[in-house]
Chain A
Amino acid sequence: MDRYAQAAAVAAAAVVGLAFGGGVAWQMNSNSSEGDDPVRGVRTPCNLVPAETLGEVLPGAVVVSVSGDGEPGEAWSLSKECGLAPKGEDNPSEALLTLRLTRYGDDKEDVDGGKGEKIVVRWGEDRAADEFTAELSRDSDSICRLQPVTGIGRQAAACAGTYYDDVSPAYRVMAQRGDLVVQVLAVARAAANREAVGRLAAGVLEAGR
């Protein structure tokens, strides 16, 4: 075989390899998109609080901050946090009432059993309950240690302590129902009516379904 035919054969092989390698890389990355149902979006908790109950906790409250974690369709849990302060406060950026609502989506896990792969589905409700339990035990360095209470959602915990400024009283409530977990932190005068703060958490869970 002469040199030109040999070079042409190598070049042809290289082109085939290029197309094959590029095609495989392209395909592998194109098919990595997840096909499961996305977790439903979660509403801003400030839009879910019952107006009457909010009036008991913090009359004349206005929204001072909103933030969220996770983009719809991309994350397995979505959360929204919003802060409320009384209107006309000297330092309105300091929220006296902070609400955080998180929704957990269904999760599929591949488990290697004895005979091939097994897909295990963990429903959002179970994940929310797990996160609730995990939050209870990791809470030691926070404002106060959450203790189980009844009457809010499916399970709930609450505690009273002192805010990070070491002066203001604070009251925390965390509750779970279905695939939702709500966390409420009330500071200073918002912490005065603890029973109403609990009803606030219950109202957010109820309206957020």
Chain B
Amino acid sequence: MSSGSLRELSANPIGLAVYGLFGGCIVGTLTVLIGQITGLLPLGEPRTLRVPCRDASLTALVPGGEVWNRTGHTGAECEMRARPPRHAHLEIKIKKAWTAGMARDDHLRGCGSLNGLGAVGRPPGLGDEACVVTDRGMLPETTVLVRRGALRITVRYGSAAKTAAAVESEAVAAARHVTASL
């Protein structure tokens, strides 16, 4: 299209409306994309996510552990690892999905995947959808998956010094502490 006909289009009221339509499309698309990338959308979720890794109830699970922590708008995670010989580790991940429905789909996929690790159970006090599984043996390790709105929370705790039952109940307690802090 030559610049002559563009000028003609903008002089015409219908042409101006066409410009408005296309301009609106571009602005709307950009708003959604930028909103999701920066974590501003979806509305109603915490603007900035943080993991309460330095709280005493969590650091007590990994005595003498080194802490890695990452805060963000679309996700946050932290990890603690105790030095050998008494191995223990705690990983907490929070991810913000684009919509609550997407978070739910991904959460259910995660729970479906866990059945390779053992019998999947329902942890008490974490909602109807939450799931928990414990890999038993020399190193008992529990994975807890929770969904809150558009947020997905993963807690993984393993300790060579504890029984599988103790590891599981402490991992579920840690998951409750994390979801309560959101």
Contact = CB atoms under 8 A, between A and B. Distances in A.
Interface of A: 1, 6, 9-26, 29-30, 33-34, 37-44, 46-49, 62-66, 71-74, 78, 82, 85, 87-89, 92-93, 103
Interface stretch (B1-9, B16-24, B63-71, B174-182): B16-24
B158 interface: yes
Contact of A41 (B13, B84, B105, B117): B117
B148 interface: no
Contacts of A65: 84, 87
Interface string B66-95: 000000000000000001110101000100
B101 to A, nearest CB: 7
Contacts, number: 170
B69 to A, nearest CB: 18
Q: Ordered nearest first, which 3 A-B pairs have the shortest CB separation?
A: A17-B24, A47-B137, A40-B116
Chain B, interface size category, equals: 35 or more
A72 B158 CA distance: 16
Given A1-B13, A30-B101, A74-B106, A63 B139 contact: yes
A30 B41 CA distance: 13
Interface stretch (B31-39, B43-51, B54-62): B31-39
5 contacts: A30-B99, A37-B112, A38-B109, A43-B118, A46-B138
Given A30-B102, A64-B87, 6 more contacts: A6-B16, A13-B17, A18-B24, A29-B98, A71-B93, A73-B112
A24 B110 contact: no
Give the one of B93, B102, B139 with max A CB within 10 A. B139
Given A48-B137, A66-B89, A42 B16 contact: no
Nearest to B89: A66
B116 A9 contact: no
Interface of B: 13, 16-29, 31-33, 36, 83-85, 87, 89, 93, 98-99, 101-102, 105-107, 109-118, 133, 135-141, 143, 145, 154, 158, 160
Nearest to A61: B138
Contact of B112 (A33, A34, A38, A62): A38
A119 B89 CA distance: 41
Interface residue SS majority, chain A: mixed
Contact of B33 (A12, A15, A25): A25
Contacts of A24: 25, 29
A39 B1 CA distance: 52
Given A14-B23, A48-B137, A41 B31 contact: no
A73 B141 contact: no
A16 B13 contact: no
Nearest to A47: B137
A72 B160 contact: no
B14 to A, nearest CB: 8
Nearest to B103: A33
A21 B53 CA distance: 40
Contact of A22 (B32, B89, B138): B32
A11 B23 CA distance: 10
A47 B16 contact: no
B110 A71 contact: yes
Give the one of A19, A37, A66 with max B CB within 10 A. A66
